[in-house]
């Protein structure tokens, strides 16, 4: 696959809503996210498969994946 | 790009929860890792799939962490007495049978304080959806044991392990006469959404027991490392789907709860029966 042509998704994290429970980090199948202090941050956007499990399991309306 | 156009191109478009939420109420008060937020999101997605508008829904709750849910949604809502949500909901439904009643209640609210109301609502088969958020503990008041706390679990009022056997909410609802009984978990999010959708669409009393996690009170006392650890141990490894039951050997089913739609029958609905009585009386 031509990496240059690959369109990356956009992961939006609302830091005001995130309570740092790390559910999204623990259940991400491709290890895209990590905890940085009290909130979650994107570590490896390339690996994101847009499965949206982080969005579905986030209890705090804090994370969304856009294409 | 509109949501429909994006769907056709199979692009991932996040669900827009804002149309169902009251502005300025978020972030919610639930603790970090609490499963109630996951259930609320699944409920909103299910409502969107059915296509109900905000005014067609009435959400009623009692007291407890789970009962904070109506405060965040932009439906007709009512926050009532501890355990008495089902009585208020029965009154609302009988006064306005066109409303879709959704009752969000906790395990303690529904099965202990409101236990009597719960069994009699199931018996009447009045058309409403009862979502029992079962986190095995009274979270709001400091982690006392509740009717669904598993035997032997430590809580702040049972430091040597709970000595009482726990209730099976689904068996209780089924025995009391509810026509739709299901169990879901906050780990299996897609299944949870489908189950809530089926429960709202069912005409008659629908009870969905939703296993979720209280990492702060139940988790810490019982040596669970985190919210996700609880979700894996209790909800993923502790349950088996009803679709898999026949394929699994009996030793793999030991100590596990069934999840999915456990009981669904047709029955005459209470408001319909009541309308017939009114007609008879007027003749």
Report pLDDT digits (tens) over A1-54.
555 567 888 999 999 999 999 999 999 999 999 999 889 999 999 999 988 999
pLDDT range class, residue B13, cuts 50, 70, 90: confident
Q: Which residue has the higher pLDDT, B254 or B280?
A: B280
Phi, psi of B25 (to 5 degrees): -90, -20
pLDDT of B207 over the 60 cut: yes
How far, in Å, CA of B15 to CA of B32, rounded? Answer: 22
pLDDT range class, residue B117, cuts 50, 70, 90: very high
pLDDT range class, residue B184, cuts 50, 70, 90: very high
- Verify whether the Cβ–Cβ distance A22 to B17 is below 8 Å: no
Query: What is the model's pLDDT at position A7?
Result: 82
Domain B26-282's class? alpha beta
**Per-residue pLDDT tens digits for B66-85:** 999 999 999 999 999 999 99
**Per-residue pLDDT tens digits for B23-65:** 888 899 999 999 999 999 999 999 999 999 999 999 999 999 9
pLDDT of B6 over the 80 cut: no
**Per-residue pLDDT tens digits for B223-257:** 999 999 999 998 889 999 999 888 988 888 888 89
- Verify whether the Cβ–Cβ distance A23 to B41 is below 8 Å: no
| Contact residues for B260 (Cβ-Cβ < 8 A; gap 6+) | B182, B183, B184, B191, B195, B241, B242, B243
Cβ of A6: how many Cβ atoms within 10 Å?
8
For chain A positions 6-35, those within 8 Å of chain B (CB to CB) are 9, 16-17, 19-23, 26-27
Q: If you average pLDDT over every residue of chain B, what do you get?
A: 91
List of chain A residues whose C-beta atoms are within 8 Å of the C-beta of residue B28: 60
pLDDT range class, residue B10, cuts 50, 70, 90: low
Query: What is the model's pLDDT at position B104?
Result: 95
Between A and B, how many CB-CB pairs are < 8 A? 73
Give this complex's ipTM. 0.91
CB B271 within 8 A of CB B93: yes
Using alpha carbons, select from A2, A11, A67, A3 the residue that is nearest to residue B7.
Answer: A67
Q: Report the pLDDT averaged over residues B86-96.
A: 95
- By Cβ distance, the residue of A22, A59, A61 closest to B35 is A59
Query: What is the model's pLDDT at position B216?
Result: 93
Chain B within 8 Å of A57 (Cβ-Cβ)?
yes
List of chain B residues whose C-beta atoms are within 8 Å of the C-beta of residue A7: none
Q: Percent of chain B having pLDDT more than 90?
A: 83
Please give the model's pTM, rounded to 2 decimal places: 0.93
Q: Percent of chain B having pLDDT more than 70?
A: 96
- Verify whether the Cβ–Cβ distance B189 to A26 is below 8 Å: no
pLDDT of B270 over the 90 cut: yes
Q: Which residue has the higher pLDDT, A25 or B7?
A: A25
CA distances for A25 relative to A39, A58, B28, B33, B118, angstroms: 11, 10, 21, 12, 38
Q: Report the pLDDT averaged over residues B210-221.
A: 93
- Verify whether the Cβ–Cβ distance B26 to A65 is below 8 Å: no
pLDDT of B110 over the 70 cut: yes
- Verify whether the Cβ–Cβ distance B37 to A55 is below 8 Å: no
- By Cβ distance, the residue of B27, B189, B215 closest to A17 is B27
Using alpha carbons, select from B30, B105, B112 the residue that is nearest to residue B61.
Answer: B105
Q: Report the pLDDT averaged over residues B141-151.
A: 92
- By Cβ distance, the residue of B14, B38, B190 closest to A59 is B38
Query: What is the model's pLDDT at position B3?
Result: 57
């Amino acid at each position: 696959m031509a990496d240059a042509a690959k369109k990356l998704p956009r992961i939006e994290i609302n830091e005001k809503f995130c309570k740092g429970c790390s559910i999204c980090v623990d259940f991400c199948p491709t290890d895209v996210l990590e905890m940085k202090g009290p909130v979650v941050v994107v570590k490896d956007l390339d690996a994101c498969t847009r499965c949206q499990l982080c969005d579905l399991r986030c209890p705090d309306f804090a994370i969304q994946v856009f294409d | 790009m509109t949501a429909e156009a994006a769907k056709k191109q199979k692009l991932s478009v996040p669900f827009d929860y804002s149309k169902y939420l009251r502005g300025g109420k978020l972030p919610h008060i639930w603790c970090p890792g609490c499963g109630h937020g996951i259930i609320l999101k699944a409920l909103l997605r299910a409502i969107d799939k059915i296509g109900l508008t905000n005014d067609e829904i009435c959400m009623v709750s009692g007291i407890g962490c789970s009962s904070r849910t109506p405060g965040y949604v932009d439906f007709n809502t009512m926050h009532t007495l501890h355990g008495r949500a089902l009585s208020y909901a029965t009154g609302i439904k009988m006064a306005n049978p066109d409303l879709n009643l959704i009752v969000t209640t906790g395990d303690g609210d529904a099965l202990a304080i409101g236990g009597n109301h719960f069994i009699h609502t199931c018996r009447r088969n009045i058309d409403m959806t009862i979502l029992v958020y079962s986190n095995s503990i009274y979270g709001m008041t400091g982690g006392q044991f509740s009717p669904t706390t598993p035997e032997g679990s430590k809580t702040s009022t049972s430091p040597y392990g709970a000595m009482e056997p726990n209730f099976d909410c689904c068996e209780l609802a089924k025995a009391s006469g509810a026509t739709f009984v299901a169990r879901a978990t906050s780990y299996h999010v897609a299944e949870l959404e489908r189950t809530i959708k089926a429960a709202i669409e069912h005409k008659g009393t629908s009870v969905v027991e939703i296993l979720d996690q209280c990492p702060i009170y139940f988790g810490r006392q019982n040596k669970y490392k985190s919210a996700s650890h609880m979700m894996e141990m209790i909800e993923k490894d502790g349950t088996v789907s009803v679709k898999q039951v026949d394929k699994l050997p009996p030793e793999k089913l030991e100590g596990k709860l069934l999840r999915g739609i456990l009981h669904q029958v047709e029955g005459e609905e209470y408001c319909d029966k009541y309308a017939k009585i009114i007609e008879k009386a007027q003749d």
